[in-house]
Structure formats: C-alpha cells, structure tokens
Amino acid sequence: MHEYTVAYDIYATARRAALENAATRVKKISADFGEMSMINPEQVEFLFSALSEEDELFQGAVLEYRNIPVKTECPCGYKGDEKYVCPNCGKLPKIVEGREISVTNIEIEVDDE
C-alpha cells in the first residue's frame, strides 16, 4: 500500500520542518500528486489524518492537494498530454511532468515570544 508510505512521509516531513522552526502548531500541508504517480490522493488524505490525529502539534491540521496533469515531450517536437503514443511520429513521448509527489508548503504557527 503505497498510500500509507506517502502519507507517513508527508507527516514526517511536516513534523520535522515544524520542529526545526519552533512551531507550536501545524495548520496546513499542501502537496502535489502527479497524475502518473499511481497514488490515490483521497486515501493519502485519510491516512495522513489517521497518522496525525494523536499528535498535538497537528491538531486541526489539514492536508490539501493538487492533481498535476501529465505533460509530455517528444524528440519530434510534440509537446502535450499524450502519455503513450506521440500523435506526430508514433513514438513513446517523454513524461516531463505528472509523476511527482511533493510537499509544496507547510503552514505553521509559532509563538512570538
């Protein structure tokens, strides 16, 4: 189950960043999921909530995500979203965007003391 690993990595990354920045609370984590990452974002969101629910640092924290569509390029000059066969030459285009899974932002609160 890859979604559990992704959810845990997002939780661990956010926790580490929050502690390194003396956060009192994590409010929101933003992430990008590429269309070709083969990950179910809704499952990741559910598992993230389950992993973080007992952590006081994450009380009320939400995981927001964007689905990133596939962008491809082919040596023949084609640029578009065809994943498997270049419509110009029939070759396999190279995927340049849409496979990534990344945390793009972590919103935290810190004491002003």
Instruction: Write out the chain's pLDDT in tens, 113 residues.
Output: 589 999 999 999 999 999 999 999 999 999 999 999 999 999 999 999 999 999 999 999 999 999 999 999 999 999 999 999 999 999 999 999 999 999 999 999 988 76
CATH architecture of 2-69+98-110: 2-Layer Sandwich (3.30)
Determine if residue 78 is labeled as part of a ligand binding site: no
Determine if residue 82 is labeled as part of a ligand binding site: no
Here the contacts of 43-50 (C-beta below 8 Å, separation 24 or greater) are: 43/3, 43/7, 44/3, 44/6, 44/7, 44/10, 45/7, 47/3, 47/4, 47/7, 47/8, 48/7, 48/10, 48/11, 50/7
pLDDT tens-digit map of 25-53? 999 999 999 999 999 999 999 999 999 99
For the chain, the domains span: 2-69+98-110
Determine if residue 22 is labeled as part of a ligand binding site: no
Residue 113: its pLDDT value, please?
Answer: 64
Determine if residue 89 is labeled as part of a ligand binding site: yes
pTM equals 0.85
Determine if residue 76 is labeled as part of a ligand binding site: yes
